[in-house]
Structure 1
Amino acid sequence: MDSNCASGNIASSLSNMIKTLEWPDVNIVYETPYNETVLNTLRHIEQELLGFQTTLYDVTGINPSIMENMLRQIYQKKSREVRIILFLSNTTLELLLEIANTFDSLSNKTTNYRSGSSWIILSTLIFKRQLLDFQLQNIILLICSRHLIGHYTLSDATITPIDCLNDCGSLEMELERKRCSVESLFPNIKHKYSKQHVLIGTLESNLLQKQVDKHNNTVYSGVVVELSEILAKHLNFTFTFVQPSDGKYGGKSRDGKWQGLVGLLLDRKEVDMVIAEFSITEERSKLIDFILPPFATYTWSALCKRGIQSQSNWVKVFRPFSIGVYKATLATVVAVAVLLLLVQRYSTEQSGNYRFSLWNHMISVLNNILVLISFLTSRGDGVSTEKASVRVLVAFLWMFCVVLTGVYMGNLTAALTDTKYHKPFNSLEELVQLPDWKWGIRGYSLTKKILRNSKNNIMMKIWKGLEQFNKTDPSIFDTDINVHVNRILTEGEKYVYFGFGAESLIKNRNDCALQIVDSILSNFQTAIAVTKNSYLKPDLESTMAKLSDTGFLTMLDEKIYRDNRPQHCKIKDTKRPLRLEDVLGAVSVASVGLATAIFVLLIEKCHHHNKQFLQ
């Protein structure tokens, strides 16, 4: 430090900057020769800033390991808001900054001194080019010369004067200070992570597709790419995708080490975060942190080939009506036949010489049924219409036939032209009973843990089946989902795939080849994963919350489940035989007709008896 530069000027300058930055606290790291300057600074700050907190660290003569522990202690105390003022000789200063520069890489990616700390340095290092080699982003330099203090900031690999503070007149300096802002003192704050390179662990799945272009370059596409790009834009970082060589999501090897994406993130620290089809589970949450809100939701399902029901046309002739409608129609015909018999029995012509005969009654009822069936098939004939009751009954019967025939013909046409898909089994209980069927899963996925650890009886049977199949067919545990899909679609193969994301897998195809038979478990959510205490967590949580509020995550979800199949694949088979309540109008017509005909018959009978009585 220049001996002509008064410590009071330094203290005043620091106080002005702290006011502008609105810092509530600061860590002062100093050596013994700067005791007077540190004390003046403290007095100045205490007079102007009530409640301001200061922590002092005397590093005179300490070794690099102690300095490293000191930086760790400072970060653990304030995490993302580290504020440090340095009063050090050039040698000690360079040593401390070198430690801070490499601190993040040595802390298992749990600290962010690079862009998450702010430094004010009293030094002459402005004349030393090596200061620009440091990765620390937010640095202000105070340079004393001839009783004046120069203020400089580091931005975009250049040292730039801070104009609003570098003014000689005290009044003008105060006016300029009021026009200062945090961005003018630390320009890189608005740049967030300042193009810091981030490694993102991922795996090929329905959310991420990988292709090699004609120049032999790997090109990624899918929801994972879109989410990574929007995060990189908001937080200003660059990224590279890293896939685990074993192609696994995570699991422990025999030597107790984690594999797959969990190993990349947890054990080897080879990635900063994981963005993949990586479900939130209780076991994983104990080891790593998930960034909420999640960006996708999946259901654990059974996936198989979509079959076509082979139903002959002669069967379809009976399909428009359910058995209840046929029963009601038969009951109506029988009831009308019996009523006609009563009319014939008690007609004027037969009442005088009628003799009861069960056989004759049965023949008469059968004859009437045959006559009435003709109403349902052609024009009908042979029904006597001399009696009013019979004419009423015939009128309502015709109405019944017209309504029923119209409904039947319409639904018969739909049944004959409809292609009805069917499922080979309707539940897991049915599946495990089928002798020729096999099923498979991705061997190192969450599905394997679910089945292996389940106490549910049917799940245990499925797991035993997998173990049995694996003895002769190891591909049932293949980690590539395309292997399982190809087996499902192989002609003559009876195969089922169990896993997450089956619905989106079906909809992303351009055919009708696959179907979900059963959605078995509750939903599992997929979220970004980071290490415990990761410096990325607060910023990622804040950004994901904003993306959720703006509807971006909803748009991603719609892309995951967007139906790309042909239109006819999207039509659900909702046709069913017409039930009795569907043709209740026709049945009501027949019922009213029967009641009316009986009423008229009773009137006729009373009139007949009254006429005989008068005679």
Structure 2
Amino acid sequence: MATGLELLVAAALCAACPGFNDTLPDNLIRINEEGNMVTELPVDVEADMAGVTDDAPVETLETILNKKVKLRALREWINGQHLRIATLEDYPLSYTELLENGTRVGHGVSFQLINFLQEKFKFTYEVVVPQDNILGSTIDFDRSLVEMVNKSFVDLAAAFIPSLSEQRSFIYYSTTTLDEGEWIMVMRRPRESASGSGLLAPFEFWVWILIFVSLLAVGPIIYVLIILRNRLSGDGVQQPYSLGHCAWFVYGALMKQGSTLSPIADSTRLLFATWWIFITILTSFYTANLTAFLTLSKFTMPFNTVNDILTKNKHFVTMRGGGVEYAIRTTNESLYMLNPMIKNNYAVFSDATNDTYNLQNYVNLNGYVFVRDRPAINIMLYKDYLYRKSINLKDEKVHCPFALAKEPFLKKKRAFAYPIGSNLSELFDPELLNLVESGIIKHLSARQLPSADICPQDLGGTERQMRNGDLMMTYYIMLAGFATAFVVFTTELLFRYINGRHEANKWSRHGIGRATNGRSFKPSRWLRALGHIKGGEGQLLGTSTHANHVTPPPPYQSIFNQGGGEQLQRWRRNPGLVLPDEKNGAGVRRLINGRDYMVFRNADGHSQLVPIRSPSAALFQFTYTD
């Protein structure tokens, strides 16, 4: 609430204010309380021609009158006029039919609009088409639609022409935008989802990388911790495992296999248990996500955006001279990044106006991606669906061999075109705007299509059978395992051969059967198997002695008694062993390392152990066989 001082100041200021001005501006249209107009209009102008409506723009009366007068003059002029209208073969939006008498008749959404304008403004028209069915540009101007409009060969271009920056210098687009055109990619429907292989799908890329790193790192970490623990604690009970044993334990746990390692120390047991718990949780998550992926995963396409086409160098085809081609060739357009693909022959611009031909020839046979505006693609796929369903009534995958990408390849506003300086735009565009705002143009574009979605990206089948594509990673792992095993086997043979050569060279330097100190030794089994040593003292296991006329050894028990006959005497002459006789005396039975031996004295005075247990005795008998 104002104080008394503030009221006094306000009264003083009001006394200095100028008087109230009740005069109105010129040309102002006045309306009384009942809504009737009280301003007097010129005598030769009707009230309804003055544009005085509830939604009239705030303009001066002179501007309104001039516009109305001009429109009335245009209506009078066009009444009975014969127009030349150009168009493109762009089914279903605009296409023509050549009659037997040589007359060309226009069809499609564009000419439904033209026919509406014809009925309203009472004009006649003839349809012409450019020599080449192309829109036209700076480098592709001849025989094009843009050339016909630019040189005023026609009065109007009735087609859904995309609004491109380069064409604005040649033609005048209508102020009313008919629609926002969307060019969509259509491709062959893949047999499996593009989200990844069935075995790799449960985890993303970096999860697999971390699992692989942990598989390589945990084994050495456990090995180092065990060594460090033993050295710090001085515990000799827990023997340290080798690095190979630790690495194989980590891999075996990942494959849900057991381990022969049995740690005693509590800290070592915790290390092993930690890895087991980690693997158990990891494999449980993998199994659950793999089941969900194979049954409930959302189907995705391999090519959904322009970047997919660019990064994967995918061949694509589109209409020759259409909006997509000029958007790729024009520098300041969004698709100019695809321009290098034209030079590398990844982009094909087809002259065929038959979409079915392009679909079958490029997409179905060659696997290309076909880029076309949405109305044409939808009608084309719908007709293909009806044809295939008439052949096969049951298999939905046969009905829909093609699929659409979700993201538009290109978006552009589309409109009619006029020659520069033409005043037909002022007459036709307001009527076209009424049709756009009422949704009639959108209705006409989709009139031939059913309300249901035909051949969606995800067919929504409930069954999900495993295919080879889901098991490809399994095949790769198996091949990699066999290849690795073969490489390791080859490496073993190579090292065995190198070691054998090294051992053979040592024998050749020091004499067969003699070392540098003069003592005798036996060659390795490898050298004996290769036949490097001939005439050796021993006989290989499993080799028959009949070919060498070797008398079988006497019974083992006869060695420890005085019987045996000639065979025993022959065995007594072995210079390397002195058997019990009257000269040397009987051997002494000893229990060594839990096994029974007979101890005898050799010729050089050293003691010789003769095993008594049956398996060891058999080996002893084989060793001393001629």
Task: Flag whether TM exceeds 0.5 (same fold).
Answer: no
TM-score, structure 2 as length reference? 0.43
Q: Which has the larger radius of gyration?
A: 2
TM-score, structure 1 as length reference? 0.44
